[in-house]
Structure 1
């Protein structure tokens, strides 16, 4: 089992610090965390597919795009309601209680927390 998955399971079993964020270091770990899940926030539902596609809905508009993993970061090119949000590489962290956090600009920018459902 991968290091991240093991750490998340250990935290869940031990009941330690539910909100503790663990950095996702590589693409395999990232795919293990998001596979088959929907990332949700109020009015937003997104699926990040293992094949590099992103699709979903935000408010009343479609969300679509592509992603890849580069140098330890989730890099995405995203469109929301047809408007380009642009290319950005983001740091990714996950919690044992089913949340995932993306921080733009390689971990130096704004961040967004999603629930994994």
Structure 2
């Protein structure tokens, strides 16, 4: 039995909005449906549509700021802060600020387009 896996070649998710998504573990990288871990960079001015994911999502901010609208409440996370958003909660992610935001996203179970329920 293999005791560990080092990820040197994360899957780079193709995007059209300037966001960089490097999935280290998860559906796209290794077929793991239990968890996904991705390194993200959201450019200044970036935003996604509202969604109601069927997974919990944890976010940890390394650089910049990220805005969350969670059931109508606006929250801004800064460097060193983290958040857990429960599954089946309506949320919008964005970076309306002037600097890129670099963060780690962890989804339980793993992120998948058929479970994100974007509007």
Q: Same fold (TM over 0.5)?
A: no
When normalised by structure 2's length, the TM-score is: 0.32
When normalised by structure 1's length, the TM-score is: 0.33
Structure having the higher helix fraction is 1
Higher relative contact order (CA 8 A, sep 6+): 2
Structure having the higher strand fraction is 1
